[in-house]
Structure 1
Amino acid sequence: MVKFTLPRNSRLLTPNHFTFVFQKPQWARTPHMTILGRLNTLGYPRVGLAVAKKYVKYAHERNRIKRLTRESFRLHQHILPNMDFVVIAKKGVDGLNNHLLIEALGKLWRRHCR
């Protein structure tokens, strides 16, 4: 049975984890966000988030974007390759409503599956 949970070990937590992804990433992007990915040897995908205050001014908007990104990853983690992903928000992402944001994330996850 497939579990749709997001345990602590499914997240990138330390600067070393993020640096690993930034060294030789495969990327997929839209005008509002970029997802960098790099194959790992753990046997499961992990996700890290980078939502800069420079591009998303209000904390409640940054939290909404992070919450929806984690939810999208949680639902797609079983079809994703064993990669470490870093989701980077760009300018204008706070203007997307929840439906458009989830749709854009789904499109980016599918690109990484190819």
Structure 2
Amino acid sequence: MNNLSNAFPRESRLLTPSNYSFVFEDAIPAVSPHITVLARFNTINGPRLGITVPKKKVRNAVDRNKIKRIVRESFRIQRHQLPNVDIIVIAKHGIGQMDKKSLARQLDKLWLKMSKRCEQQTQKK
């Protein structure tokens, strides 16, 4: 397997507050009980990811970092099937109690749901 194709380079990340604001202004949501995924079309060639795991929802830093690692890994695997969108993944209450497999499964479903909604949005225009 080519390691570069599954990398998570700086260009694939939302880095600045203005990047996040851009998505929040006109987001296409995909929601589950533990995760909200917001997406907005970008002008860059490929999807970008931003992750927020509030301390209020997951107290322990180790757990917050674990969740972020799982989200990044899922994004790396799925990003070649995703449209050109900026994505924000927001953790909700109870996500800290999920095991790695169920979190990954839920993310896979949300990537698909988000992609379909983005496709529907494109067809409306």
Q: Aligned AA for 2:52?
A: A
Q: Which residue does 2:110 correspond to in 1?
A: 108
Q: Distance in 2 between matches of 1:100 and 1:50?
A: 19
Q: Which residue does 1:35 correspond to in 2?
A: 37
Secondary structure of the equivalent of 1:3?
Answer: helix
* Structure 1 unaligned regions, length at least 5: none
Alignment size in residue pairs:
114
Q: Aligned AA for 1:69?
A: V
Superimposed CA distance per residue, residues 1-20 of structure 1 (whole angstroms, 9 cap, x where no aligned partner): 78111101100000000000
Deviation at 1:45, TM superposition (A): 0.2
Q: Which 4+ residue blocks in structure 1 deviate beyond 6 angstroms?
A: none
Q: Who wins on radius of gyration, i.e. which is larger?
A: 2
Q: Distance in 1 between matches of 2:5 and 2:91?
A: 27
Residues 38-77 of structure 1 correspond to what in structure 2 (within 5 A)? 38-77=40-79
* Structure 2 unaligned regions, length at least 5: 117-125
Superimposed CA distance per residue, residues 28-77 of structure 1 (whole angstroms, 9 cap, x where no aligned partner): 01000100000001011000001000000000000000000000000000
RMSD over aligned Cα atoms:
1.1
TM-score by length of 2: 0.89
